Structure 1
Amino acid sequence: MSNAPLIGFVGFGAMASRMGANLTKAGYRIAAYTPSGKGGDGSTLFLPSARALAAEADIVLVSVPDDEALAKALHGPEGVLAGIKPGCVLINTSTIAPETAEALDTEGTARGLHVIDAPVAGSTPEAEAGNLIVLAGGTADAIARVQKVFDTIGRLTIHAGPAGCGTKLKLVINGIMGSTLAVVAEGVAYGLAAGLDRSMLFDALDEVPVISPHHKRKLKAAKAGDFSPQFPARLMQKDMRLLLTSAARQTAPLPAMAAATQSLSLTRRRHPDADYSALFAVMESLVANTP
């Protein structure tokens, strides 16, 4: 469809590229800019700067690792905000600090933009299947403008509230996800240290209802020693850090999540680019007295 909206991706990594593929299949036009300067396989138009991309796009979707990368993508003479047109929708799917999301909404609204913080729940398998859950913060009007886009990349859109609320909900979800995996990994560590058969232990945990489907998937990978990065440890630890910082601002006590963050910090230090479930390998190495 030549008249379809052009969606410009700033950042086109594992998650964004899969979203882009689903949008292309649905008939949208897409283009991308990567801060690393790396292009794709030739099927996607890559532009030389975030500014150039924003000037062409009807919808700008930013998917970068953290607050610092977001600031570089948005600001400066070659940033998104230097090129984006009033009336455009700016969607930020990056997981960032809630106050950063709120500040972006304030700045974007002043420029005549429709800003949505829309991080997603799900990893690369869900992104590939178009089965993500979009956690949207912003006005109902802004979300309605891009609802068809959200319906293409995900199975459900949750309007979490005004600006920043999508980001806050994402931190709740990732905090629970990271903390519960840390508990499962500790259980595995005890079982191995106590002499349980490794295969039996992993297989047993795959059968019991107290383990979530997500963590059962991680257990199967850990049993095989496969920590291919669906959600890298460096990003999970970053999200836990954001959660604890925001919780401290709200005087919300999170002792269990704080403890889990220490284990995930160790995982990031040892295996930054592996999946965050490499925590299983860290714990197993501790009880087995191996590297």
Structure 2
Amino acid sequence: MATNMRIGFAGMGIMGAPMAMHLLQAGYPLTVFNRSQEKCEPLVAKGAKKAASFEQLLGSSDVVICMLADAAALIQCLEQVTGEVEAQGIINMGTIGPGESSLVRERVASLGLHYLEAPVAGSKPAAEAGQLVVLGSGETEWFERVAPVLSCFSKQVFYCGSGNLACVLKLSLNSLLASMTVALCESLALCEQSGVAPNDFFDVLAVTALNAPLYDIKRPLIQNRNYPVQFPLMHMLKDLNLARELLELPLLSASHQQYSQAALQRNEQDYDMSVVREMLP
């Protein structure tokens, strides 16, 4: 897809803003939209245009990418569209359930537009580095047309087939992310309870087969017990709820309990999901 393709981007949160910046840096004409308009200003300062509404965004773009908090926010935006639009299609990159994605697909089709669900694996650091992993489901031809756009902020773009398979795959990955983080925090708590220094625990872990890139990313947050947002606690809890709607599993349910407890004790928007460490001794 040529870089003269006009891209619209809705959602200037901790993921959307850096993703949009990569598109701008790649040379795409970019228009951005956010319900809190002030969040668009850093992109506008770099050369992006700003849409006053989601309908205006669709009217001034060829492809619109949505990175919104949940399905309700996306559907609310779509319901505001009342007239004809210039856009050819919409790419939803936020994490929603497969049933929710079907509802979005129907609404997008009613507008005469193509639809691709394309959730991403990776949090704020990966978005900033342009190293996300994109999981796409939808029409093959539409996926192939927009894949070059998606590659601007990703290290790999996967096509998962038609339907809502990308949503299911993303929820399974986030379920694994949740349980891995809880397991890491429990292992650390076990060490600290017996006098092993956190630094020693992480140094040893780093040179074993048990280590994972996730642990390197979460180490400074958990070790310092300071949790600036990379992946918001509220989003993790949302995704676990969506996963449990698909299938109840023992480890999934146990992780959900830990994150639910964390959400009750902490402001969900202000903490990274690794704050679950504070629910342990």
* Counterpart residue number, 1:250: none
* Counterpart residue number, 2:98: 98
TM-superposed CA distance for 1:73, in Å, is 1.7
- Which structure 1 segments of 5+ residues have no match? 248-252
TM-superposed CA distance for 1:3, in Å, is 7.5
RMSD of aligned alpha carbons: 1.9
Q: Secondary structure at the match of 1:226?
A: coil
Among all aligned residue pairs of Structure 1 and Structure 2, give the percentage whose two residues are the same amino acid: 28
* Counterpart residue number, 2:25: 25
Structure 1 counterpart of 2:107, which letter? Answer: E
When normalised by structure 2's length, the TM-score is 0.91
TM-superposed CA distance for 1:213, in Å, is 1.2
* Counterpart residue number, 1:40: 41
Q: Secondary structure at the match of 1:278?
A: helix
Work out the CA distance in 2 between the residues paired with 1:51 and 1:109.
15
Q: Deviations over 1:232-252 (max 9, x none)?
A: 1111111111111122xxxxx
* Counterpart residue number, 1:268: 263
Q: Deviations over 1:68-115 (max 9, x none)?
A: 21221221xxx2x43563761200011111111122223323432110
2:64 is the alignment partner of 1:60: yes
Structure 2 counterpart of 1:232, which letter? Answer: P
1:256 to 251, 257, 260: 251
TM-superposed CA distance for 1:46, in Å, is 1.7
Work out the CA distance in 2 between the residues paired with 1:150 and 1:3.
12
Q: Secondary structure at the match of 1:236?
A: helix
- Which structure 2 segments of 5+ residues have no match? none
Work out the CA distance in 2 between the residues paired with 1:192 and 1:31.
49
Q: Relative to structure 1, is the Cα distance of residues 83 and 131 closer, same or farther in structure 2, using a 3 angstrom cutoff?
A: farther
* Counterpart residue number, 2:145: 145
2:236 is the alignment partner of 1:278: no
* Counterpart residue number, 2:123: 123
* Contact 1:65–1:94 (Cα < 8 Å) also in 2: yes
Q: In the TM superposition, what are the counterparts of 1:135-214 in structure 2 within 5 Å?
A: 135-214=135-214
* Contact 2:59–2:87 (Cα < 8 Å) also in 1: no
Structure 1 counterpart of 2:277, which letter? Answer: F
TM-superposed CA distance for 1:223, in Å, is 1.1
Q: Secondary structure at the match of 1:243?
A: helix
Structure 2 counterpart of 1:63, which letter? Answer: M
Q: Relative to structure 1, is the Cα distance of residues 30 and 239 closer, same or farther in structure 2, using a 3 angstrom cutoff?
A: same
When normalised by structure 1's length, the TM-score is 0.88
Moved more, 198-207 or 24-33: 198-207
* Contact 1:55–1:83 (Cα < 8 Å) also in 2: no
Q: Deviations over 1:4-50 (max 9, x none)?
A: 12211111112111111111111101111112233322323221111
Q: Deviations over 1:225-276 (max 9, x none)?
A: 33111111111111111111122xxxxx411111011111122233312111
2:23 is the alignment partner of 1:14: no
* Contact 1:133–1:155 (Cα < 8 Å) also in 2: yes
TM-superposed CA distance for 1:220, in Å, is 3.0
Q: Relative to structure 1, is the Cα distance of residues 197 and 125 closer, same or farther in structure 2, using a 3 angstrom cutoff?
A: closer
* Counterpart residue number, 1:49: 53
